[in-house]
Structure 1
Amino acid sequence: MPKLTETQTLILSAGAQRPGNIALPLPKGLHGAAAKMTVTKMIERGWLQEVDANLRRGEPLWREIGDGHGTTLVVTEAGLLAIGIEPVVVQTMAAIRKHAAEAPAPKPVTPRAGTKQAMLIAMLQAPEGATMEAIIAATGWQAHSARGAMSGALGKKLGLVVTSVKEEGRGRVYRIGQSG
């Protein structure tokens, strides 16, 4: 393996100490063509890898690739080994990144059949919707409990969008998944 320069050692050592083994920012004074040449050689030797930057986490950008996306530089296992560090941290971070990318969508929550909540959902999904009076009569709840169930259990916990519209002759009518 080729001998590391002082600059390469600085980049790899600093990256090994950062969360996610991110190699940026580069050492002071290293910018422009010199930075590009150094990083290119380190990527060719397998010591650094260019990966998509997670801008939400504030990862520093190495270069922009358009549409508000960019890449950052990460020290690889080979880079850690080149400076004498066991790559356990890199393997852990790689597993975390892989798991995050492959994580299945959360399973949708479905209410148990025969419950008042299931009855409320069925009433609200009907094309005609449901008035507060009908909900109170069917569930036996007070009006404030029914509104709380629509806002809390249905809206916040189940992610359903409950809309309400004043209709001529019926008053306020509540529905799920439709606009009236």
Structure 2
Amino acid sequence: MTKTLRLNDLQLILLSTASQRDDGSLLPPPDSIGERTPAVDKAIKSLLRRGLAAKADASDISDLWPADKNQLIDVQITAAGRAAIGAGQDEGEARSPEEPGEKSRPESEPSSRPVSKIGTVLSLLRRDEGATLDEMIAATGWLPHTTRAALTGLRKKGHSIAKDKRGDTTCYRIAAEV
């Protein structure tokens, strides 16, 4: 089972604000936070360490946290940061190539990606081979009973979920629309 990602209120506010900005910058802090304080710096350091934010350009900055707080530091939200708060990325939005875990996508692959845990489950179920309960648990961090309840919820929303066997393991997938 994967470890659940926990963010405090300050980190959530910083990521949420950055996801709404055109450049994805965490700084300056939003008005709801006020001035940049040591607590804000600590929250940003934590986001950087966890890969939810990244420095845009380190070529001209020798130290990430200079003594002069007024010097602007370009720290931007990453795709992992957007996923952590469930914020989608518009197709027109620019992506930084330095973001950790970014892979180039073939043009034949759709540009939309899951932004929520249920979206992740749906994308797993849409694969030709479908997904096992363990695969869905690993992808979402949910407990088994929560994952099964999500499948029930998808059925109630009109998704036709087929149940097959892959060896001795039960496999779920979205049934082909007729």
TM-score by length of 1: 0.39
Compare CA radii of gyration and give the structure with the larger one: 1
From the two aligned structures, give the one with the greater strand fraction.
1
TM-score by length of 2: 0.40
